[in-house]
Amino acid sequence: MNKKILCILLSGAILLSLAACKTTTPTSASESTKATASSSTEVTTTSATTETAETTPAEPTGYPEKGCKLEFPSCERYHYKMDLSLDTKENTISGHVDFDFFNDSVDDWDKLCLRDYSSLFKNPEDAGYDKGIKTNGSLTEIKNIKDSRGSNVLEYTREEKDVSVVWIPLNTKLAPGEKMTLSYDFVAKIPTVADRYGVSEEVYNVTNFYPILAEYTSDGWSHIGYYSCGECFYSEISDYDVNLTVPSDMVVLSTGVETGETTSGSSKTISIFAECVRDFVFSGSDRFKIVEGDYKNTHVRTAYVEEEKPEYDKLEAEIAQKAAIDSLAVFGSAFGEYPYKDLEVIIAPISAGGMEYPNLVIISKAFVGTGDPDSSRKEIYRLNADNVVSHEVGHQWFMGIVGSNSGLQPWLDESFASFTEYVYDVAVYPDRDHRLPVTMNDEGSNRIVSINKSYFDYDSDFNYVAAVYWDGKDVLVKMHDVLGEEEFYGIIRKYVHKYAFKNADQMDFFSLLYQYAGTDNKELNDLIYKYFDDSVQPNVFLK
């Protein structure tokens, strides 16, 4: 049996692809002090983690109002200019990249770390598949690497144990705050698999496909191992200017906003601008049909493929589209308005239940299929669609807007995204019974497996999912019950507002939680004791 087994959450909610490859020793999630761009060696420092364990929680200063605006910061950002070309005969995505960035740490950089996840599909096991399963991947070709400060072509090396880790030694160190442009050409193979990266049934999911700068932390370059059971990506907010050439009959949905299109023979080039996002991805198919609409300033599109009974496929898409728009309304009010002009929902044949990317979510076709809309199963499918769409759209806040190290502190995005399923459900279906499903908790025990461990510290994918997704949702709902909706949503809104477009860690969240809720709330502390490890208990914040 394929190791990518489908695992239906006990809530009847989300299917996740489970795999078992845990080989890389993770680095710490702690963030280094950040430097801002500078043309001199003088460094201005800011930090996403200024409130640390050493400080006694300060008095709260009020919550941002419901539905508050999350404004893009005016500071200088990283910028990827990419000219991309999709070859649907060879199944490759190639391009030229000019990447403008600066050293945002306080350390000199004598080398750069890029992540090239596409290359993992050369060896099925590296991409989370059983040995013997064909993934048709290959190592990405990277050529003509240049540093704008010199004329030499730079060489690169790959880590043997993790081919997604690419090192580029610099001829001249990049000082804190100093800028440079890294240019390179690449050709990446798109595997023929029904995965978050791959082509299946003529639907291309082109994600995590180009070499992207890794995140630099106080422990150096973060390059945790890849796993398919959840998100494992970690990058910096950037702007993207993209020219994407595809076959002229392909319907493309992507991160960012389309700004133009030109057609030449059998191909077309789409211009796209994406502002303040952590990655750029697109999905495309000449079979895509679209359902679309607006929520406030955001255009929402759902792409689907027609099969034997087109009216059913359209109904599925309409259900997903409504769930996406309702999610924007509910989460915008609770956590701060969705700040982007586009949200794309792709209904595609993928092995996981869903996957989140900036401005774009992929939802499993198998998961939202209504089958016969007149059948008794229609309601079950609709509930599934509500659940998986709200979860993935919830990630737009918890991963997209507030970034975090998904591998080392996965609860910061997965537990919160699972909690958004509940937030959505309570708001959209107020008359429904919102009792939590049975979880893996042993209610009789004083403490359970901590939900705030690294992915690599759980001894199985099942235990990781049980802790981070199920128990994580469970404890956040219970915190909500203890503090009340007004206060708990207010604290989360403060967290989102404060760390929007930055990378946060769990100390940032708990620091705010204790500021607002106090360190002496026995009911809350009992929950934190039961579900979290010692690193975030109230006493840590009172030293």
Beta carbon of residue 414, minimum distance to Zn ion (angstroms, whole number): 5
Cα–Cα distance for residue pair 536/53, rounded to 1 Å: 9
Q: CB of 497: closest distance to Zn ion in angstroms? A: 22
- Smallest gap from Cβ 415 to Zn ion, in A, equals 9
Instruction: Return d(Cα 371, Cα 378) in angstroms, integer.
Output: 7
Cα–Cα distance measured from residue 295 to residue 396, given in angstroms and rounded to the nearest whole number: 15
Q: How far apart are CA 467 and CA 450, in angstroms?
A: 7
- The three-state DSSP-derived secondary structure of 289-301 is EEEEEEECCEEEE
Binding span for Zn ion by CB under 5 A among 195-203, 330-338, 407-415, 476-484: 407-415
Angle at 75 between CA 72 and CA 81, to 5 degrees: 80
Contact present, 496 and 70 (Cβ < 8 Å): yes
Among residues 5 and 53, whose Cβ is nearest to Zn ion? 5
Q: Residue with the closest Cβ to Zn ion?
A: 417
Compute the distance between CA of residue 294 and CA of residue 340 in angstroms, rounded to an integer.
12
324 neighbors 282 (Cβ within 8 angstroms): no
Please state the separation of Cα 258 from the chain's center in Å.
21
Residue 372's SS3 state is coil
Q: What is the 3-state secondary structure (H, E, C) of 21-67?
A: CCCCCCCCCCCCCEECCCCCCCCCEECCCCCCCCCCCCCCCCCCCCC
From residue 149 to residue 188, what is the string marking binding to Zn ion with x (rule CB under 5 A)?
----------------------------------------
**Strands 298-305 and 282-285: what pairing?**
unpaired
Task: From 202-210, 279-287, 410-418, 484-492, give the range in contact with Zn ion by CB under 5 A.
Answer: 410-418
CB of 21 to Zn ion, least distance (A): 19
Cα separation of 163 and 161, whole Å? 6
- 414 membership: H or E segment, kind and range: helix 411-428
β 212-213/15-17 pair status: unpaired
Closer of 126 and 414 to Zn ion (Cβ):
414
In the complex, the smallest distance separating the C-beta of residue 520 from Zn ion, rounded to whole angstroms, is: 33
What separation in angstroms does the CA of 93 have from each of 88, 138, 208, 210?
9, 12, 11, 9
Segment lying near Zn ion (by CB under 5 A), choices 161-169, 232-240, 320-328, 414-422: 414-422
Our finding on whether 363 is near Zn ion (CB under 5 A) is no
Q: Among residues 140 and 452, whose Cβ is nearest to Zn ion?
A: 452
Q: Per CB under 5 A, which region of 63-71, 175-183, 417-425, 504-512 contacts Zn ion?
A: 417-425
Place of tokens 């389309």: 258
Q: How far is the CB of 395 from Zn ion (least distance, A)?
A: 6
Q: What is the SS3 assignment for 412?
A: helix
Segment interacting with Zn ion, rule: CB under 5 A, options 144-152, 165-173, 408-416, 452-460: 408-416
Q: Closest approach of Cβ 208 to Zn ion, in Å?
A: 15
**For Zn ion, which is the closer residue by CB, 344 or 414?**
414
Shorter beta-carbon distance to Zn ion: residue 162 or 414? 414
Single residue of 48, 166, 328, 417 touching Zn ion by CB under 5 A: 417
Window of 209-217, 305-313, 333-341, 415-423 that interacts with Zn ion by CB under 5 A: 415-423
Taking CB under 5 A as the binding criterion, the range among 37-45, 46-54, 362-370, 411-419 that sits at the site for Zn ion is 411-419
- How many CB atoms sit inside 10 A of residue 64's CB? 17
Helices 506-517 + 485-499 axis angle, to 10: 140
3-state secondary structure of 155: coil
Residues 261-280 that bind Zn ion (CB under 5 A): none
CB of 133 vs Zn ion, minimal distance in Å: 24
Cβ proximity to Zn ion, 174 vs 385, nearer residue: 385
Which of these ranges, 247-255, 413-421, 447-455, 497-505, lies near Zn ion under the rule CB under 5 A? 413-421
Q: Which is nearer to Zn ion, 137 or 407 (CB)?
A: 407
Site string for Zn ion, 367-406 (x = CB under 5 A): ----------------------------------------
Measured from the CB of residue 391, what is the shortest distance to Zn ion in angstroms?
6
C-alpha 415/C-alpha 475 separation (Å) is 9
Nearer to Zn ion, 13 or 300 (CB): 13
- Residues of this chain that bind Zn ion (CB under 5 A): 414, 417
